[in-house]
Amino acid sequence: MTKNKKSLIIPSIDAMCAELGFTKVHKYHRYDRPFGEEFTDSLSFGYSYFGSKEYIYVNMLYGVDNKLLVDLNNKLHEYRGVNIASMIRINAWNWKGTDKKDFFWNVTANTDINSVIAEIKTNIITRGYEFFDKYHDWDYLCEMIITGKVPCIDTPGYGACALYLNGKKQEAIDYYEGRIKMAKEKFEKLGRKLREEEYQPFRDNLKKLP
């Protein structure tokens, strides 16, 4: 199998996502769809060969961003780049915790691309929409991030932001300090040192908030 097969499936995924209202983000294999003024739903795809010349393994992640949380987290971190990854992302087949293994669609030279696209689309409609609906609930979103029950790109930061935006500034400060302490202890057990200076801007800026 050659990489030409990859060049065939990606345009098909582009078209399917566009049909569902998702727009491709830059050159990355991520597709966004706004929901209201504060939320953005996302689909992210990975294409891997794992050394094989016969297969392409396609996997998909669901993601959700909340503008209030993302903007505040970026501000406190003094981050001015482009957020490539969604705030929270989870594999399309295990977000309910029923399967801890990544799921891949195997694509070979003999694969019916239309059939694979149909399976992916069905997954999005039957499972993805339910995921998005759950995480559009502010209280549920905050609870899942704060408790660490959902994979988050920055649990300490987003957890602290969630607490602050819910009117709990001191709890937000304590939460962030506690999470960094836990990370430091974990690093020390591995014989490594946490670069605490990277977290100082967030600490200082959080404390300055009204």
Describe the crossing of helices 200-208 and 67-77 by its angle, rounded to 10 degrees.
110
Neighbours of 88 (CB within 10 A): 26
Q: Tell me: do 137 and 186 sit in the same domain.
A: no
Q: Tell me: do 142 and 178 sit in the same domain.
A: no
Q: How far apart are CA 164 and CA 157, in angstroms?
A: 11
- Going by C-alpha positions, the residue among 178, 184, 177 that lies closest to residue 200 is 177
24 SS3 class? strand
pLDDT tens digits, one per residue of 4-25: 556 778 899 999 999 999 999 8
Q: Tell me: do 130 and 169 sit in the same domain.
A: no
Strand partners, 46: 59
Q: How far apart are CA 15 and CA 97, in angstroms?
A: 30
DSSP letter at 53 equals S
Q: Give the number of domains in the chain.
A: 2
User: Which residue segment(s) compose the domain that 173 sits in?
Assistant: 155-208
59, 91 contact by CB (below 8 A)? yes
Lowest mean pLDDT among 62-76, 155-169, 177-191: 177-191
Q: Tell me: do 71 and 159 sit in the same domain.
A: no
Q: Tell me: do 34 and 137 sit in the same domain.
A: yes
Q: Tell me: do 70 and 88 sit in the same domain.
A: yes
pLDDT tens digits, one per residue of 82-135: 666 778 877 765 544 445 455 678 888 788 989 999 999 998 998 899 999 999
Q: Tell me: do 24 and 47 sit in the same domain.
A: yes
DSSP letter at 196 equals G
Q: Tell me: do 90 and 53 sit in the same domain.
A: yes
pLDDT tens digits, one per residue of 127-171: 899 999 999 999 999 999 999 888 888 889 999 999 999 999 999
Residues in the chain, total: 210
Q: Tell me: do 113 and 174 sit in the same domain.
A: no
Q: Tell me: do 12 and 85 sit in the same domain.
A: yes
70, 84 contact by CB (below 8 A)? no
Q: Tell me: do 169 and 86 sit in the same domain.
A: no
Sole residue written with tokens 């990975």: 46
Sole residue written with tokens 């001191």: 170
Q: Tell me: do 142 and 165 sit in the same domain.
A: no
57, 47 contact by CB (below 8 A)? yes
Contacts of 1 (CB under 8 A, 6+ apart): 52, 53, 54, 55, 56, 108, 109
